[in-house]
Structure 1
Amino acid sequence: MTARMKLTLSYAGIVVVSGALLLAAVGLFLLRYVPDTVDFFPNRSDLLRAFVPVAILVMIVLLVIGWAGGWWLAGRMLAPLNRIGYAAQLAAHGSLSHRVALEGPRDEFRDLADVFDSMLDQLEQNMAEQQRFAANASHELRTPLAISQTVLEVARADPDRDVDALIDRLQEVNARAIELTEALLLLSRAERRAFTRESVDLSLLAEEAVESLLPLADKRGLTIDVGGDAAHVVGNGALLQQLITNLVHNAIVHNEPENGAVTVRTHSLAEAVAVVVENTGPVLSPALVATLAEPFQRGTARTHDDDHAGAGLGLAIVQRIAQAHEGTLVLTSRVGGGLNVTVWLPHPHPGLYEPVASA
């Protein structure tokens, strides 16, 4: 039995029961005052004989009115649900562009339709992003494979090939493919939020990231300044370590060719904690900065070397890890050149923690 049929039966039942109660009230409280004697006309029996057929006819009319009116009212009430169901059916078949767009005053059905439309908007955006990401990932993964194939074909056609140079080139291409694959797996892990949580101090992670990347900074002639408050959050230590490492690494490789600088700071406020990484570098337009967190987007053209293969996933991974920890990533260009990257993460005890200045 459909919901419309159930509502129709309910409406018709209410009408019929109400009519029956009304007729019973007439019979019980009015007819009892009429004498039921032969010398009185019309007596109670006469009125009952005249009243019962009319009451039956009225009950039939009430049943018809209740059924027809209930069917119409149920259809009107369920029309928004039918529209939502139609949109859901289209979405189930892969069409995410259709919207319910329910009109009329705001009520429970309107709220439900608006929430459903918002869900479709989010699904459509996520689907488009996943398709774009899959296309970019396929292209990026195909590149090292195509390079390897070309190197092998050239080496096969060259009788005087340098085996050591061939091995070095293939190893470089293979390392790039491994780096890209690991980045994709890390990105997928952050998006699925498949990790355990624990108490983590971001200031310690920042010091570890700077220490591990200090040789790369020295090689490029950069100075790194790290400091700030003890910043405690609840999250996955490995992912948060990767987040800060990506930020510092990105700040190093996208910097001035010489005499550049990187600044790493952690802050703990009453409601949130922050990791701020600044680096010198070329002037970045606001339009370019807005796209830097997109997968496979690179801020500046550069020569790929052994230090960085340039997969274009550094800030994309940072953003996904931040979102998986209910945080946000904010990118702003620095006056004079370079980038300011701030990751905000929720404080484990908002409003209860006073920041402690580091020594």
Structure 2
Amino acid sequence: MNTTAVPPAPLDEVPAAQPRRTGWHLLDVTEVRHLTADTVAVTLDVPAALRDVFTHHPGRHVTVRHRRAGAELRRTYSICPPPHAPETLRLVIKRGGPGGFGDHATTRLARGDHLALSPPTGTFALPELPGAHHVLLAGGTGITPLAPMAAHVLRRDPACRVSLVHSVRTSADAVLADELAELKDEFVGRLTVLYVLTREDRGSGGDLPARRLDVAGLRRLLAAVDARPGPDTAFALCGPPGLIDTARRVLADAGADPSLVRWELFTAAGTAPRPPETTGPAPEAGEARVTALLDGRRRTATVQPHDPALLDALLRSHPDVPYACREGVCGSCRAKVLSGQVTADRQHALDERDRDAGYTLVCRARPRTPEITLDFDA
């Protein structure tokens, strides 16, 4: 998930009792705890009036809006509560490049500060599969949605077991290692945690010698945790695109059921957003009209030929349209195309089932027909 800068917009007044995908809420920071040299866990207070809005389940994420130097930074983070307090609204934030929100959070954010957050959203979740073997693969801070998923399913399903593989550069980068160790003690025999160190060779004292996870390495890992694709084995993957692409290919070659392979991507904080590729024909009239359904309301906008994506046209008059990364990674701007046609590139957050069902990412989509209707609520 990534950061992008846009002109600042005012906080929206959102009714507290109704969960919505849009709007921003100022929440108090109650704790900033350093997990590693460049990573902090930020806990936020959710007042009683907003508890329904911020009700979440493992795998969901929020977008943080931060103003800096007359511009606005947006960054998406998975909700990552500690295992002993699953209702807590906590974000794990890595520093990334200088000048971004991660830099601010890890060096200046303190108890008593306020953060503007969107309501939780997202579809990343483990399948309902009683008694399953859940195999979770995390790369770097991709551990943040997977650790809560592991805790949740272990407590909910006493017949399941979980194997969690965390790929990190060095042992010092293994965020949440202490919490996962406590979880292992609570679920002895049902939770296995394996660390792969890509830039640190600990010899016989480590889990594996230092190496990147290539196809051969992933196959060895699957064998090490006895992850045999079948109707009782589910997979959840979260990390950078290269790792997830390799893992999905390995699982497909092994015969894993695609419906039992769930995944989510992130990009390194501080990576500059790339402009969309201009693929596909433009409308004959040179512009298009887009109608968007969001939170039960209808919004319309005109897409000009120079607009990089549908999102840019919608934001001109409707700043509450959800988005964060503009990279096609976070999935915040996911919408279903009800009528008309779009073309889009690099929609990393969508899988084949999403695309077949008619979903697109508005930050990457461009019009192919003069009239388009989107449903963000679908």
The alignment's TM-score, normalised by the length of structure 2, stands at: 0.21
Q: Which has the higher helix share?
A: 1
Q: Which has the higher strand share?
A: 2
More RCO (CA 8 Å, sep 6+): 2
Flag the structure with larger Rg. 1
The alignment's TM-score, normalised by the length of structure 1, stands at: 0.22
